[in-house]
Structure 1
């Protein structure tokens, strides 16, 4: 089979999944497609594998759309749109069809179940919470096994924790930690301000210390800045006219003059302007830093 074979869902003539009516039409369409016999499936798989026959691949995919729907319904308890789960599952089905070997001696549905569930698992873990609750392979396995093991609403009892831990081969503390993550909910760090003061919502950002709300520090900084400005202005006034003009032209105007501009203005070299500027800046620093 050619390495450049790419299967895309939008190349298949199937109804849209964009709305509820589309979902109903899609399910009716998927159920109307005949299930392939073992001989038909094997023949199509050979055509795809050895002849790179895209039409054969599409027939195999479309005959298994109902299988993806069935798997997606099994993950409906996560609060995610079933249409999205079906789309992700179809991606897994396409990957399975592309890799299916007709000489393996198994039906496509048995081979594809891993690929279909893997895509749905990945989608659920990425979208079920803003903060990921399962990142490692073992955590992902525990997450889905724990969901399927939970027979009722509410927290596990101690006996249930011990039973699940034994069944999954993990420590009870691991089961308890994952259950805490699963029962947690997302909260906006900085929620919008409520217009009604009587209905305030407390969010994490409200518990942070406001470092800027220090009246004493703010007053001290304002006083220091004011005194610094007064010292600077007084120091500038004590400069000779040429030094004052150079400093003002180089530092206190929007359109600053270059050393060469000032050299031409005062009829000296640019190096001399630099020396005068440096000496004036030194005087200003001393005046400002002086207690």
Structure 2
């Protein structure tokens, strides 16, 4: 059985290796990107998203919808900041005219504008946010699951005429497809980066294909969030997302008994502290020392030490023909020796009670729960069963026990009664 299990495991491992090799052969055909290539893909994505926002912002009807959205904003800090921005813009125009006419100098104009400088970007930023929200809403309306009737209802709710909605839908759809294509090209060109990171976690409990899949999810997220203006190469930025996605999946799926991610991270920190202490002191630190280093309570550290080790599978081979499950005692099964003693006692008792009358045997079985009778019966209950008084049942019981106490019968039961 162990040999069969090992053979099946080796077959599954060989199949997984073949799949990984095929995958590597496919992604190896895609050329690596240079710094300029990464910037080009990022620019394509950004331009497509800008086009999508422009399609929403430049439509006359959509502008009316955005104005309506601005009017419906709650009276809060946003309104106050916008009001401050309008005042700042008006003050700027007044200062510009005064400078042009020579009524004030540059220092005075700057002094007047300085209190309003923090509020100048407020209105522009809020307008950009609303345009983005509007474009996101339109993107949701353009999802494949959205029917044509739902699209018309969405346009009517925004006050868009059918002709404008058709043009806007086509423009947004084209821009978003271009953005997705640029993002997808950036991901495909960096798939080898995921494999390089996943190989560092090959000793984890997850298969390599699962590690690559989780890393690809992180790569896709990195492509969506990448900002070339920060001066980083995409590979440098993506490695963090790939590593985080892989480590999170290992923490979430890599254990037989799932633990919360934050507990797994604490276990890793505990193992690292433990290894450092062993290297320095030459001995395994106790729970108190670990608690001081981790700033945790001693009971918490003891709990972590208990749940840290992985369970050992019962199919783990021990030697050539034995599994660890074969060496463990099943506490739910009866003790074989006790079963043998019980069978011997039942035969000896049956032989001893063979010298009693049928009524005496039955009364003893009912009174002491022998044979198939599991519960002991009272004198009154036995009396009702035989239509006898309690006293008569007691007399028959005493006579039967006296017979069993005779030396010849007692000798048969001496090994069991001591």
What TM-score do you get using the length of structure 1 for normalisation? 0.50
Greater C-alpha radius of gyration: 2
Using CA pairs below 8 Å that are at least 6 residues apart, which structure has the higher relative contact order? 2
Normalising to structure 2: TM-score of the pair?
0.36
